[in-house]
Amino acid sequence: MNATPPRAPAHLPLQGLRVVEFTHMVMGPTCGMILADLGAEVIKVEPVEGDRTRHLLGSGAGFFPMFNRNKKSIRINLQNPEGAALARRLCATADVVAENFKPGSMAKYGLDFASLSTTNPKLIYASLKGFLPGPYEHRTALDEVVQMMGGLAYMTGRPGDPLRAGTSVNDIMGGMFGAIGILGALIQRGITGRGQEIQSALFENNVFLVGQHMLQYAITGQAAEPMPNRISAWGVYDVFTVREGEQIFLAAVSDPQWATFCKVLGFADLKADPRYATNNDRVRMRPTLLATLRERLQVRSAAELTQIFEKAGLPYAPIVRPEQLFDDPHLRATGGLAEVRLTDGEKAGAHARAALLPLTMDGQRLGVWQQPPYSGEHTDSLLSGLGLTQTDIEGLRQHGAVA
Which of 17, 106, 135, 123 minimizes the C-alpha distance to 70?
17
Contacts of 377 (CB under 8 A, 6+ apart): 1, 2, 72, 73
H helix or E strand, kind and range, residue 382: helix 379-385
Question: Exactly one of 143, 171, 344, 380 is catalytic; which is it?
Answer: 171
What value does the mean pLDDT of the chain take? 95
**Rounded distance between C-alpha atoms, residue 268 and residue 93, angstroms:** 70
C-alpha 268: how far from its chain's center? Answer: 44
Which of 60, 17, 58, 63 minimizes the C-alpha distance to 38?
17
Length of the chain: 403
Active site residue 171: yes
> Which residues on adjacent β-strands are paired with residue 84?
none
H helix or E strand, kind and range, residue 354: strand 351-355
C-alpha 59: how far from its chain's center? Answer: 15
- Taking the alpha carbons at both ends of the chain, their separation in whole angstroms is 12
Percent of the chain with pLDDT over 90: 95
**Rounded distance between C-alpha atoms, residue 116 and residue 126, angstroms:** 12
Q: What is the pLDDT of residues 60-71, one digit of tens each?
A: 999 999 999 999
**Rounded distance between C-alpha atoms, residue 102 and residue 141, angstroms:** 10
Strands (E), 188-302: 196-201, 236-241, 247-252
List the strands of the sheet with 247-252, edge to edge: 236-241, 247-252, 316-318
> Which residues on adjacent β-strands are paired with residue 402?
76
Contacts of 302 (CB under 8 A, 6+ apart): 242, 243, 246, 247, 248, 318
Q: What is the pLDDT of residues 218-270, one digit of tens each?
A: 999 999 999 888 878 899 999 999 999 999 999 999 999 999 999 999 999 99
Residue 42 burial (CB count, 10 A): 32
Q: What is the pLDDT of residues 84-143, one digit of tens each?
A: 999 999 999 999 999 999 999 999 999 999 999 999 999 999 999 999 999 999 999 999
Q: What is the pLDDT of residues 258-268, one digit of tens each?
A: 999 999 999 99
List the strands of the sheet with 41-46, edge to edge: 71-75, 41-46, 18-22, 96-99, 124-129, 196-201
Domains of the chain as residue ranges with CATH? 18-209+328-398 (3.40.50.10540), 232-321 (3.30.1540.10)
Confidence of residue 1 (pLDDT cuts 50, 70, 90): very low
**Rounded distance between C-alpha atoms, residue 402 and residue 47, angstroms:** 8
Q: pTM for the full model?
A: 0.93
Q: Is 384 exposed, middle or buried (0-12, 13-18, 19+ CB in 10 A)?
A: middle
205-234 core/surface letters (b: 16 or more CB in 10 A; e: else):
bbbebbeebeebeeeeeeebebeeeeeeeb
Q: What is the pLDDT of residues 180-195, one digit of tens each?
A: 999 999 999 999 999 9
**Rounded distance between C-alpha atoms, residue 199 and residue 207, angstroms:** 15
Whether the CB-CB separation of 125 and 198 falls below 8 Å is answered with yes
Largest CA distance in the chain: 86
Whether the CB-CB separation of 97 and 116 falls below 8 Å is answered with yes
More confident residue, 42 or 233: 42
The answer on pLDDT for 2 being more than 60 is no
**Rounded distance between C-alpha atoms, residue 100 and residue 102, angstroms:** 7
Contacts of 221 (CB under 8 A, 6+ apart): none
